[in-house]
Amino acid sequence: MQTETRTGATDTTSVPAVVATLRDTFESGRTRPIEWRRHQLERMKTMLVEREAELLDALAADLGKPRLEGWASDIGIVISEIDFALRHLARWTKPERSRLPLAHQPGRATVHREPYGVVLVIAPWNYPIHLLLLPMVGAIAAGNAVVGKPSEVAARTSATLARLVPEYLDPEAVATVEGGVAETQALLAERFDYVFYTGNGRVGRIVMAAAAEHLTPVTLELGGKSPVIVDESANVEVAARRIAFGKFLNAGQTCVAPDYALVTRTLEAELVQQLGRAIREFYGPDPAASPDYARIVNDAHFRRLEQLLAGSTPAIGGESNAADRYVAPTVLRDVSPEAPVMADEIFGPILPVLTVPTSTRPSGS
């Protein structure tokens, strides 16, 4: 049985001082040299390698993540991004000559890429290492100071990152602020030079509104209803395996997971059959006993998914266990477009399959 761990929280009154320290560091010029950037990226990679076991333990505690899945989706992907940045850092930072129009001749122009300044990264809980550190890699590679806000929902991972980041990275240029709504609001009250937020649209609007007060540029990575389409051109067996992998990875708690499937009527039965085969191949006859299947992050999200399943007759799965926050890989048929499960992003291991009359693919394409 999983237990929910409450994360620590940064004192909100200390947030202005944290941001001020980062700004002083940036304005001192410390973060600009390529040597500093390279060293910080190398230290982050060292942290991920040396403390891999602790990080995987935290992912397992928060999300029931299998260790291989946790490494591949949260640690290995960040290491790959760091290696990519290190290989290209010199080229990215090299000044580039630029041609001038005739009116400005015989002048010369050179493009110099400058860091923004102090960057805020607000991360979600579903890939709590990946989606905190990956934007921080970009911010550091560009020569910025950065504060990361891990999600309080993934409490164990948040606490682990808050402990490890200052141990490995420059604490006067890279900071971590833990907590929930109050701490996030305290951060958003400060002036940043760039904000990167991953999460839902409701909070995304709050982040953008706060950033607008300072005309701060923002990147919002938000979720939505992401369908997959299976028509007569598809290899249904291959399509089903790919859909099952994308949908049930991390128990469906992925913003780019297939939210629902649209399939032509003639292929519906075959697609459902092949989805069942793929689920058995991935997780065995009883996914609840599989070491390769994750769990729902907390009781609130478990209850939300149970409500979406209420009244449905699953073609595959449908079982759940509140004590373990387990929701089986589930496929639904005969779903009305007006059903609650079709209203918002599902963000769980429930795949509605809706039929369409025929392919809409243009002829000859």
Written as one letter, the residue type at 154 is A
Q: Is 139 left (phi over 0), alpha (psi -120 to 50) or beta?
A: alpha
pLDDT score for 4: 40
pLDDT score for 313: 87
Of 197, 222, 247, the position where a domain reaches its end is 222
In a domain? residue 48: yes
What pLDDT digit, counting tens, does each position of 296-350 carry?
A: 999 999 999 999 998 888 999 999 999 999 999 999 999 999 999 999 999 999 9
pLDDT score for 280: 98
Q: Is 96 helix (H, G, I), strand (E, B) or coil?
A: strand
CATH code where residue 265 lies: 3.40.309.10
Burial of 145 (0-12, 13-18, 19+ CB in 10 A): buried
Say whether pLDDT at 207 is over 90: yes
Say whether pLDDT at 152 is over 70: yes
Kindly name the residue from 69, 152, 190, 255 that is annotated as catalytic. Answer: 255
The model's confidence at residue 220, banded by pLDDT at 50, 70 and 90, is: very high
Do residues 133 and 237 share a domain?
no
Kindly name the residue from 52, 221, 306, 345 that is annotated as catalytic. Answer: 221
In a domain? residue 217: yes
Strand spans (E) along 223-323 = 227-230, 260-264, 314-316, 320-321
Neighbours of 188 (CB within 10 A): 22
Do residues 178 and 305 share a domain?
no
Q: How many domains does the chain have?
A: 2
Do residues 171 and 49 share a domain?
yes
Specify the long-range contacts of residues 329-332, CB closer than 8 Å, at least 24 apart: 329/244, 329/247, 329/248, 329/279, 329/283, 329/287, 329/293, 331/272, 331/275, 331/276
The model's confidence at residue 360, banded by pLDDT at 50, 70 and 90, is: low
The yes-or-no answer on residue 255 being catalytic is yes
Share of the chain above pLDDT 70, in %: 96
The yes-or-no answer on residue 306 being catalytic is no
What pLDDT digit, counting tens, does each position of 244-262 carry?
A: 999 999 999 999 999 999 9
In a domain? residue 28: yes
Do residues 273 and 198 share a domain?
no
In a domain? residue 5: no
pLDDT score for 5: 41
pLDDT score for 3: 40
d(CA 203, CA 187): 14
Do residues 176 and 258 share a domain?
no
Q: What is the pTM of this model?
A: 0.91
Mean pLDDT of the 20-42 span: 98
d(CA 204, CA 72): 27
Q: Is 10 helix (H, G, I), strand (E, B) or coil?
A: coil
Phi first, then psi: what are they for 290, rounded to 5°? -75, 135
Mean pLDDT of the 212-235 span: 94
The model's confidence at residue 361, banded by pLDDT at 50, 70 and 90, is: low
Say whether pLDDT at 358 is over 80: no
What pLDDT digit, counting tens, does each position of 287-305 carry?
A: 999 999 999 999 999 999 9
Continuous segment of H or E residues that includes residue 279: helix 268-283
Mean pLDDT of the 206-233 span: 95
Say whether pLDDT at 214 is over 80: yes
Do residues 138 and 185 share a domain?
yes
Do residues 111 and 187 share a domain?
yes
- Taking all residues of the chain, what is their mean pLDDT, rounded to a whole number? 94
DSSP per-residue string spanning 41-83:
HHHHHHHHHHTHHHHHHHHHHHH---HHHHIIIIIIHHHHHHH
Q: Return the bridge partners of 332, or none.
A: 314, 352
Of 175, 200, 222, the position where a domain reaches its end is 222
Which domain, by its residues, includes 335? 227-356
Do residues 32 and 150 share a domain?
yes
Do residues 201 and 346 share a domain?
no
Q: Return the bridge partners of 219, or none.
A: 196
Do residues 315 and 352 share a domain?
yes
Strand order in the sheet with 218-222: 174-176, 145-149, 118-122, 194-199, 218-222
pLDDT score for 365: 47
Say whether pLDDT at 179 is over 80: yes
Check: CB of residue 147 under 8 Å from CB of residue 118: yes
pLDDT score for 87: 98
What pLDDT digit, counting tens, does each position of 90-127 carry?
A: 999 999 999 999 899 899 999 999 999 999 999 999 99
Of 222, 238, 260, the position where a domain reaches its end is 222
Do residues 192 and 319 share a domain?
no
Between 5 and 162, name the one with better pLDDT: 162
Say whether pLDDT at 6 is over 90: no
Q: Is 215 left (phi over 0), alpha (psi -120 to 50) or beta?
A: left
